[in-house]
Amino acid sequence: MKIQEVLSYIEQLAPRHYAEDFDNTGLLTGDSNTEIKGILVTLDCLENVVDEAISKNCNLIVAFHPIIFSGLKNLKPDNYVKRAVVKAIKNDIAIYATHTALDNAKYGVSYRMAEELGLKNIKTLIPQRGIIKKLVTYIPKSHFEMVKEELFKVGAGKLGNYEESSFSINGTGTFLGNEKSNPMIGEKGKRSTIEETMLSVTFLPHLESIVLKTLFKSHPYEEVAYEISTLNNQYDHIGMGAIGEFKEEMSANQF
C-alpha cells in the first residue's frame, strides 16, 4: 500500500477543502507514492516524534497541528520546526497535517468533544459558506436516468441528511458538428434538434473530480455541455466548533 492510499482515506473523512484559509493542511514532507511501512499518529510533530517514527520504522506521521505553518526561508536546523522537518526529510518520512480540515469536518473534533460531554442536539457553531458546488448538465432523454443514477452513486445530490437530491426540467437542445465530429445522435454538418433534460445536482468540493469523471463516462455525447458553480449558501454540517445542550441542567461548578 502506498502512502497516497492512506491520505485519500483521511481526506474522505476530513477533505482539505474544509480547512480555513490561514491553515497549512495536507502533505508537508515526503513522497505520497512511497510504499508505506508504518504510521505514527500525534498531536504535534516535534523532533522527538520523528525520532520515535524512526525507531518504530514508521514512514508516515499523521499530525493534527502542521509543523510547517508559514513559509520557511531556509532549512538550517536552527529551531525546533526546521530540525523536525530536516530529520523527516533525511529519513524519508512523510508528515501529514489535518488541523482545521478535521476541525471543520462533519463529526469532526468539536463534534466528538461535544459527544464526550454528553451533549444533545449538537449543531455547528460557525457553519461555512461557499462550500457547496452545483453541477448543471444537459442529457438526452434516452440516457437521463442512467446518467443521474451514476452521479448519485459517487455522492452527487447529497446534502446533510438527504441523498439523491436533484432538479430536472425538459427542454430542447441544438448542435451542429463539424467534419471532425462523431455525433451519437444526428449527422455531422447538419444542425440537430434534440429533446434533452437539464439536470441540476449539488455536491461537496472534494467530490468534483469523481463527479466530472463519472459525468464524462456515463454521458453519451462526444462533447458534454455542463456548468459548475460555487454556491454562497451556508452549509450547517461543516464549520468550526459545536454547540449543544446537556440532558439535565447543571451549574458551572458541576460542569
Query: Which residues are annotated as part of the binding site for a divalent metal cation?
Result: 65, 103
Please state, in angstroms and rounded to a whole number, the distance separating the CA atoms of residues 138 and 173. 8
3-state SS string for 6-39: HHHHHHHHCCHHHCCCCCCCEEEECCCCCECCCE
Please state, in angstroms and rounded to a whole number, the distance separating the CA atoms of residues 103 and 207. 19
- 59's grid cell: 514512514
Give the residue from 163, 132, 133, 131 showing the smallest Cα distance to 149: 163
- 60's grid cell: 508516515
For residues 47 and 27, the answer to whether their CB atoms sit within 8 Å is: no
For residues 218 and 156, the answer to whether their CB atoms sit within 8 Å is: no
Q: What angle do CA 210, 214, 217 make, to 5 degrees?
A: 140
CA atoms within a 13 Å half-sphere pointing along the CA-CB vector of 39:
15
> Residues comprising the binding site?
65, 103
Please state, in angstroms and rounded to a whole number, the distance separating the CA atoms of residues 186 and 176. 9
- Residue 6: DSSP 8-state: H
